[in-house]
Structure 1
């Protein structure tokens, strides 16, 4: 079995999630997957805009009934994207996506999500989203119906603070 390219930590006290993905592909391709609705639909959700843009506002549809609102608060193409994260019935939070080229064929993606109501749930959710992103970047989209498969196991691992030692970026 291949080791996951996703590693992360949930800090319950600080209400913060930190994740890393050794993303297959150059930075430009990963940036496109973060900002282009034709790509986000495969790993994060359906945007109500064609693409995320500097200073933009958009809705992200997680399924047919649930959407969240977002505003771009930092925009440094191919390096940093930061958004507000307004999910129904939760406090407003902020998520940032940082990119660094590690080789011509790999980019390190870091995700920091601050002020979350449940860091463990968010860590497990981001972990699954990044697994779907990794598959998308490899050209092998995962069926969206399988998103929740393994989620409960990830909640258990992040909740026990055991996950960061079990999976490291490859």
Structure 2
């Protein structure tokens, strides 16, 4: 796994992940509806574009509403993140070319006590994102088993070194 750094012991989850692809291909994974459906959920309305709002269904109608706050194609993206039963939070993405690959830096801020629960979700989603952008999408039924593996590897109160 190309995880390069990780921290979730405060109200923010921060992950650096190296992917063997171009920034443009990784950007497509973050913003194009078809690609989004391979790793995060189904884009049900809106678009990921400057100042736009969008809704992503994560399964069974459990939808996250977001508004794009910043966007610099293909290097940075920031948007709000709101599930019906949670407070508003912020997700930011940065992409940096690194030789024959791209370093993706993801930050999910404002999580409060939810940072540890989001940790395993983001690690799982990023595994799916990497597989999708390199051309080997993972089957959706692998999501929860992989999520459980991350949770078992890093029990509450611990983070990978």
> TM-score under structure 2 normalisation?
0.91
Q: What is the match of residue 8 of structure 2? A: 10
Q: Does structure 1 conserve the Cα–Cα contact (< 8 Å) formed by 2:8 and 2:159? A: no
CA distance in 2, matches of 1:113, 1:159: 18
Q: What is the match of residue 96 of structure 1? A: 92
CA distance in 2, matches of 1:142, 1:68: 22
Q: Does structure 2 conserve the Cα–Cα contact (< 8 Å) formed by 1:47 and 1:61? A: yes
Q: What is the match of residue 82 of structure 2? A: 86
1:108 to 2:106 alignment: no
CA shift at 1:5, angstroms?
Answer: 1.0
Q: How does 1:6-45 map to 2 (within 5 A)?
A: 6=3, 7-11=5-9, 14-45=10-41
Aligned length: 158
Q: 1:37 to 1:75 in 2, by over 3 A?
A: same
- Other structure's SS at 2:16 match: strand
- Other structure's SS at 2:29 match: helix
Q: How does 1:1-170 map to 2 (within 5 A)?
A: 4-6=1-3, 7-11=5-9, 14-49=10-45, 51-103=47-99, 105-116=100-111, 117-156=113-152, 157=154, 159-163=156-160, 165=161
CA distance in 2, matches of 1:25, 1:57: 28
CA shift at 1:160, angstroms?
Answer: 3.5
- Other structure's SS at 2:19 match: strand
CA distance in 1, matches of 2:139, 2:11: 30
The root-mean-square deviation of aligned C-alpha atoms, in Å, is: 1.5
Listed as ranges, the gaps of 5+ residues in structure 2 are none
